[in-house]
Each structure stands twice: as C-alpha cells, then as structure tokens.
Amino acid sequence: MKVAIYCRVSTHDQSCSRQEQDLIEYAQRAKYEVVGIWKETASGFSNKLSERAKVIALAQRRQIDGILVTELNRWGRSTIDLIHTLNNLHSWDVSLIAITGMQFDLRTPHGKLVATIMSSIAEFERDLIRERVRSGLAAAKVRGKILGRRPGQHPKSDRLAPKVLKMVEEGYSYRHIAYQLRLSKTTVVEIVKRHRQSQS
C-alpha cells in the first residue's frame, strides 16, 4: 500500500518532527510504502494549505492508496471540510488513516458508518452556522443597526479623493488617474463631481 505522510502544525514555534517520526514508525510497522512526506505550518482555519493540496493532487491522480496523519484535526479544517475531502478521497479509492486508530476506508462497513455519522454532524454544523447568522442579523436589526453599506457612502473613493483631486489639478486625465489609483473611470468622475458640488 502506497501512502503519503502529511504533518501540520499551527504556529512557527512548533515542529512537525514528532508527527513525522510517529508516522514513519507506524508506516514501517504496517509495511506501507511511503512515497513522500509533506509538512506545513498553518492554522487549521487557513485556506492556504498548499502542502495538503499537493497530497490531494496525488490522490486524485491515484498515485497513492492512503494518507497518514497523526490525528484527524491535522487534516481537516472542520467537520464539513473533513467530510468534503473524505468524499473526494473515496471517489479516488484513497483512504485517510489517523494513527490514533481512526481509519476512513469507505470501502469497509465501519468506514461507511463513521462517514455517515460525520455527514450528519457536518449538516448539523451547517444548520447551526446558518441559525447563528440569522439570529445575529435579527438582533442587529432590533438594535437599529443598518446592515450593509448605507446609500451615499463611498469609503474607498472618499479615502482616495484627495489624491484624485490633486492629480486632476496636475492635469492628469481621468483614465490615467483611474489606472494609477486602481479605480474605475466612473468613480474618478464621481469624486470630481462631488467635490465641485460641495464647492458650489
């Protein structure tokens, strides 16, 4: 069985050394062929798990049969993320194995049972998140808070207005100003228009 070893720590003052050693020893005992070791430092909530993406790419190309991790939270950012990646791995016939004893081989009855339970938990998590968002919005409205950008508010253009007006005075074209400040030409025109109206 060909496996990829994946290690992750959350901060730069931590090291993957212990995870790596434990996973290598586990692979040797199980007589797995280790095709490579991927390590990264990133929060579990980060969307930039580049090394994990490389392991997933290997699985998608069916170049490995399994992925070894020390614990499930080293792999999944959340229950929803774990279920999503598990389903992908299953479609490629790749197992996710945590050396704590949890093995997600969806070809086995045990793996299917655990995946079904976790799918239910993931759906419960999604419902909780939606409910929190709805509740928070409702509470904000009760307090009289206006949600979203208010009519007439121009946070970015207001911040850049002094630069726009200065460049206009220096004789730059609206198109050039828009390009330099990464604004649309329409926004530049509106800034100048608002300024002139305030001066009249």
Which of 76, 92, 108 is the last residue before a domain boundary?
108
Is residue 137 in some structural domain? no
Indicate whether 15 and 92 sit together in one domain: yes
pLDDT of the residue at 154: 61
Tokens encoding 86: 């598990």
Contact call for residues 141 and 134 (beta carbons, < 8 A): no
- CATH code where residue 40 lies: 3.40.50.1390
Is residue 139 in some structural domain? no
Per the structure, the count of domains in the chain is: 2
Tokens encoding 33: 């062929």
Judging by DSSP bridges, how do beta strands 66-69 and 95-98 pair with one another? parallel
3-state SS of the chain: helix, strand, coil percent to 5?
Answer: 55, 15, 30
pLDDT in tens, 138-157: 777 777 766 555 545 566 67
For residue 177, give its domain range: 155-199
Closest CA to 20 of 44, 3, 37: 37
Please say if the pLDDT value at position 169 is more than 90: no
Q: Given the residues 10, 46, 78, 119, select the one marked as catalytic.
A: 10
Please say if the pLDDT value at position 51 is more than 80: yes
Mean pLDDT taken over the chain: 81
Indicate whether 182 and 98 sit together in one domain: no
| DSSP H or E segment with residue 101 | none
10 is catalytic: yes
